[in-house]
Structure 1
Amino acid sequence: MSVQRVTVLGAGSWGTTFAKVLADAGRDVTLWARRAEVADEIRTQHTNSSYLPGVRLPERLTATSDAATALEAADAVVFAVPSQKLRENLAAWRDLLPADAILVSLAKGVELGTLKRMSEVISDITGVEPGDVVVVSGPNLAKEIAQQQPAAAVLACADHDRAVAIQQASFNSYFRPYTNTDVVGCELGGACKNVIALSCGMAAGLGYGTNTMATLITRGLAEMARLGAALGADPLTFAGLAGVGDLVATCSSPLSRNRTFGERIGRGETMEQARAAQGGQVAEGVTSCRSIRELARRLDVDMPITDAMYRVCHEGVDPGTVGAELLGRRQKHEWS
């Protein structure tokens, strides 16, 4: 499979950054932006000051606010919209998608209501086989990659040839993609890490240090692995870039919207104040903790940190209270 013309649907931080990655890898990239003024700025000034201030975008990356124009003759289509908006947007784009294009998901989350992973949502709407969707995951903080700092990612697809095609299309001097066939594990890692990052942010806001962070990261990883095992994921995936790699980056960096949101809550801000401070960008973990918690309950999987984040974000429980409850849970063997 040869991929030269790529359309990226969504001009937020990660969508714009991944479009830059593809263009820097020698691909012809069209970026679709919901707002015409954003598309005009990208096309004429080669910047996206709303999401990536100070970053120069490649000349071969163009943009439009017209989806039909963006999708014309694309070899691959990358979906880069928030997870809870994916189904709604796909319904509008479905009839415009080129028949043979490889479909790629950047979205990380579990859909509310259906409890489906993003590749399953794409399959629902487009009719493609779930195993034909390529999922991008890993420690991919957009700002660092946009600045061309070295990074790696995982491209997961049951059809390995499709993953390899996107690997070849996105490999450049600063971005190293690996392939994987465990779509379930990679998607769960990408969704769950946002919830654990909320908890690390709250701990930082409460004034706790490195030991607490390490505890939350490793116990969060255990939660992810348990959920993955219940859904048939490969345990090794959670030891890799889409598991512990993404988890460490998202839980540790001030560039992480989820960690930053959690830190504000830990310092005593309300949900409304924390949302306003995000500048309109989505902290996916706030929604994902609800859908992941419901999925875990359906499968009878113990996810106490996820449950704690749900209670803080959706029931108004104080972060300090849930922290004390987590410490006071019954004693157990580490791997039980």
Structure 2
Amino acid sequence: MPKNPKGKMKWVIGLIAIAIAVFIGFRYVKGRQSRLPEGIVSGNGRIEAKLVDVAAKEPLRVKEIVVNEGDLVKPGQVLVQLDTTTLESSLAEANANLAAMQESLAVAQASIARQKSEIELATIEADRARKLVAQGAGSQRELDVRTSQLATTQASLAEAEATVKTSRQQIEVARASAATIKTRIADATLKSPATGRVLYRLAEPGEVLAPGGPALTLVNLEDVYMEIFLPASEAARMKLGSEARLTVDFEPDRSIPGYVSFVSPEAQFTPKQVETKSEREKLMFRVKLQVPRELASRYVERIKTGIRGVGYVKVDPSATWPAQLQNVITAEAEPQSRR
């Protein structure tokens, strides 16, 4: 018997209708699962970290760079050594000047001791001459000579004491100069200011760095954050310190705890003339979600900046995190193996 084409068409239409219903139901269920509870907002962003330049304070030649791009560095680790030959010569000269001034001080102090002894003797002789004149057994001329010698010796003592004072001041200046040169020599050893990774190597041995010229750029892996953009209506409800969660695209089933550390006081996307409500709704504000330093320090070897993800913020402290954000990474947990 010939097949009924109308019946076949009904079956096909029925199957299509069932498939559409299943698809719509699946999308509805997924939408219900991913829908955020009231009081929680979200925005797209990426993992970022502060950049730190390792730079020279003064123009010096690069002697050695001991790290390469991609190396993980710790606070205080030596990264770059600049040539300090000229500074070391200046330090040797400053130390020689300091030694000469200390010798001059010793001579002036010895002169004071001698002058004090001479004053004692001149005082005794002047007193004796005065008594002899009073008794009529001495001449006035002798008394005048002894009195003049005493005054001269006392003036010499005052001069020697002034010399000692000046020498001490000069020694302090020389010590400060030597200390300054030592500090400059110490500053020629460039060390890491934080735990981070070398992002750029900007100089090579033999190059002369300008004052403030960077030799390396580091990514500070202890200062990690995500920036998201939220509408004005949501940003207005947000407070500094509000609880946050961060997820990354390659591992969406785990979340990173954080907090709001910055809300921009100015809109990032502002129409030239904000007059209507529809235009005001276009205002977007930058929000910074900071990862706690102790958590970032725990996972420094796994942190990769530039990875995209989603940031979530509680604008209502009483809101409850949804199930997909309950699997939180903590500082106490053992880091997983590097991917």
TM surpasses 0.5: no
TM-score by length of 2: 0.22
Instruction: From the CA coordinates, give the structure whose radius of gyration is larger.
Output: 2
| Higher share of residues assigned helix | 1
TM-score by length of 1: 0.22
Higher relative contact order (CA 8 A, sep 6+): 2
